[in-house]
Structure 1
Amino acid sequence: MNLKMKRSGIWKRIIVIMLIPIGLLLFYGTAHTPELIEKYYSNLLGKKIIQLLSAITGLLPVSLMEFLVIGLILYILYNISTFVYRLTKAKGRRKQVVAGFFKKVFVFVSIIYIIFIVGWALNYNRYPFSRIASYNTGNVNIDELVEVCDKLIGQTNELRLEVREDEKGIMFLEKGKDKALSTAYQGYEELAKTYPEFIGDYGRPKGLLFSKVLSLQGLGGIYCPFTGEANVNMDMPDSSIPFVICHEMAHQRGFAREDEANFIGYLASMENPDVDFKYSGSISALNYAMNALYEKDREKFNSLRGKFSQEVNRDLKARNVYWKSYEGVVNKVSDAANDAYLKVNRQKDGNESYGRMVDLLIYHNRQSKLLN
């Protein structure tokens, strides 16, 4: 090996070793510069990356993510089996075999991590949506929460009368699940008239072939930053699907925080001309708000809970029955992993960050009252 090739190899190793530190520096270093991230990444570079990626993968009728996951599992199994085989044959070279294996793992993880950071994760450091929407973010109180819950109950009861139900009295998507995937963008087109951050063309959301795998993990959907795809669990009760589609599309549009994706998903659902979307968004928001009220004031919760229509109660029961049927070890492990992921990405409350959607509902209610 000549000197030039040797130096090239050294530089390649240095670059690989530095990928994770560079990623960490980028992520945590920009945590205190949201204005730069908002202007130059979330609304410029990062947005272009996601749009290009999702446009390419959007040409496929199925989720590329599913096949990448299958390929990744096979790749991992192959490398582990190869490592074990070489280890048994190595005899006096076992240290070199072990070192070579972990070097390969490190290189793989480093490359994946830097792609994740540069391609999407910096969106965690953008302005909060409450600032983008110019909401009054003063302290919330129990009376405001009760008011929001009461309004959502009335809204949800009314919308429920406009949707179809099956022979068991459970809401179903009259136009079908595929139609929901293909028309979800309409809510974002309307939302973009108020918030230009949502302007842009993206690949359509994908229904997952292995949806029940997500159910085992307790997940309604998942956004894949490596393919730009908003993936949805199509096995859930129909009342959940339109809202979850809009939630994952919020991630696709650069809003990484879970509480914000929930709230934006609600707004996009309510802006969609299809009543199925409106109802799905409304009942989902109601569920979050009432859960928050249950924790804060049990008496007021019980008082409002009696206002739910029988039809809404049937839909909520169908949701609970469905998810309870998937409770188990896999669900708990997935929940713990998701909690850790959220905390690593600076959502300090972990899974509790989902509850902060209720604050956004209250801020939105404040603004609506001012505008009216």
Structure 2
Amino acid sequence: MKFSVLKRIHFIVIIFLQLQLIFLYIVRQNPLLVEKYYSNAFYPYFFNIYKSLLNNISFSIGDFLYLFIATYLIISFLKIIKGGFNFKYIITKILSIISIIIFIFYSSWGLNYFRLPLNKKLGYNINYTEKEIENTLNILIKNSNHLHEILTNNDSLAVKVPYNKAKIASLIENGFNFDLEKYDAKPYLKNSMLSTPLSYMGYAGYLNPFTLEAQINSKVPKLNYIFTAAHEMAHQLGVASESEANFIAFYTCIKNLDPFIQFSGYVFALNYCYNELIKVNPLVANKEIKNLNFGIKENFRELSQFWKSYQNPIEPILKKGFDSYLKVNGQTHGIKSYDEMTSLIIAYLQKRI
């Protein structure tokens, strides 16, 4: 009797999975509806409820959730081995779990992947010429050099952020300002308890889509910490696109009153623009980068050394998995979508030249 009821529940959940896939196909085609009714109406209200429940808890509930899921999967696998291989039951159970996860994921945060693109809302032309990339890189180098000299009084020294990471988080939370668009919520940040695994996976942070906590890898260097914190907070406000979250991180950092926060915004944007120009014209890119202060290059070397110290054979496999996840959710260039912030930065700066 019990097995029969369970079987019926699994059947209903699997039917629901098919209905969800049809629904997701429809909403993909209607970004204006997603923008109006989900991203700007339901999501801010939903997020503020979660924030009121979780913000005052110092540790990450999301990390515990992932540990619980991992433990559950291991125990389930061991039970399958011990109890014999019932193919039909296993497939049914897996599909049931997938159905539940998809429902929670897309209802709590994931539908933001299908909202109206930021460039359309801001009226930005995201097509650009080689000369525009070069001009943008030049602007970013000049601003980075200017801030660097203010912060170090020596163009050969790397910038050392004097704040602890709790202070950095507070500065970004309180100064988070994307006034190009209105958000009916205020973000917040938590250090991940899984920072060491995240380092080996090659991730500086992540948004937990089930608890809506912006998680950051507490081990990353402070300049990386600043930009990542702003990036994950943008996700927390409902900006799912990686390129858009990067652009908002850049914007809110350079608008911050603190020069160290501003510096992080400029140098990370500079790095993305340099990488874009080097694909198009390596000679011009390398000529421009010679104008960058030696001390800033030292900052980049420190960041590179940090990530190299955690390199391992599993990281590329995990990155491929994340790449596939992004592509499934409408980011056609997958993990390369991060680099597409360049088009938004160029459009933003061109409007101000």
With normalisation by structure 2, the TM-score equals 0.93
Which residue matches 1:191?
178
Q: What is the CA–CA distance in structure 2 between the aligned matches of 1:9 and 1:215, rounded to whole Å?
A: 40
Which residue matches 2:57?
60
Please tell me whether residue 110 in structure 1 is matched to residue 110 in structure 2.
no
Q: Which amino acid aligns with 2:317?
A: V
Question: What are the equivalent positions in structure 2 for 1:277-356 lying under 5 Å apart?
Answer: 277-356=261-340
Measured after TM superposition, the shift of residue 9 of structure 1 is 6.8
Measured after TM superposition, the shift of residue 186 of structure 1 is 2.9
Question: What are the equivalent positions in structure 2 for 1:1-372 lying under 5 Å apart?
Answer: 12-87=9-84, 95=86, 98-137=87-126, 139-163=127-151, 169-188=157-176, 190-192=177-179, 194-196=180-182, 198-202=183-187, 204-369=188-353
Measured after TM superposition, the shift of residue 110 of structure 1 is 1.3
Measured after TM superposition, the shift of residue 14 of structure 1 is 4.2
Measured after TM superposition, the shift of residue 163 of structure 1 is 3.6
Q: Which amino acid aligns with 1:191?
A: F
Q: Percent identity?
A: 28
Which residue matches 1:90?
none
Measured after TM superposition, the shift of residue 156 of structure 1 is 0.8
Q: Which amino acid aligns with 1:195?
A: E
Q: What is the CA–CA distance in structure 2 between the aligned matches of 1:309 and 1:294, rounded to whole Å?
A: 19
Q: Are 1:148 and 1:289, in contact at CA under 8 Å, matched by a contact in 2? A: yes
Q: Which amino acid aligns with 2:184?
A: I
Q: Which amino acid aligns with 1:67?
A: F
Gaps in structure 1 of 5+ consecutive residues:
88-93
Q: Are 2:200 and 2:315, in contact at CA under 8 Å, matched by a contact in 1? A: yes
Q: What is the CA–CA distance in structure 1 between the aligned matches of 2:318 and 2:342, rounded to whole Å?
A: 24
Give the 3 Å change call, closer, same or farther, for CA 62–172 of structure 1 in structure 2: farther
Q: Are 1:136 and 1:366, in contact at CA under 8 Å, matched by a contact in 2? A: no
Q: What is the CA–CA distance in structure 2 between the aligned matches of 1:349 and 1:200, rounded to whole Å?
A: 29
Q: CA RMSD in A?
A: 2.2
Measured after TM superposition, the shift of residue 100 of structure 1 is 3.1
Q: What is the CA–CA distance in structure 1 between the aligned matches of 2:347 and 2:191, rounded to whole Å?
A: 32
Q: Are 2:10 and 2:96, in contact at CA under 8 Å, matched by a contact in 1? A: no
Measured after TM superposition, the shift of residue 19 of structure 1 is 2.9
Q: Are 1:241 and 1:280, in contact at CA under 8 Å, matched by a contact in 2? A: no
46-55 or 233-242: which moved more? 46-55
34-43 or 127-136: which moved more? 127-136
Q: What is the CA–CA distance in structure 2 between the aligned matches of 1:12 and 1:293, rounded to whole Å?
A: 55
With normalisation by structure 1, the TM-score equals 0.88
Q: Which amino acid aligns with 1:50?
A: F
Q: What is the CA–CA distance in structure 1 between the aligned matches of 2:159 and 2:244, rounded to whole Å?
A: 26
Higher radius of gyration, 1 or 2? 1
Q: Which amino acid aligns with 2:349?
A: N
Say which SS state the counterpart of residue 327 (structure 1) adopts. Answer: coil
Aligned length: 351
Say which SS state the counterpart of residue 240 (structure 1) adopts. Answer: helix
Q: What is the CA–CA distance in structure 1 between the aligned matches of 2:254 and 2:12, rounded to whole Å?
A: 47
Measured after TM superposition, the shift of residue 169 of structure 1 is 4.7
Q: What is the CA–CA distance in structure 2 between the aligned matches of 1:128 and 1:346, rounded to whole Å?
A: 11
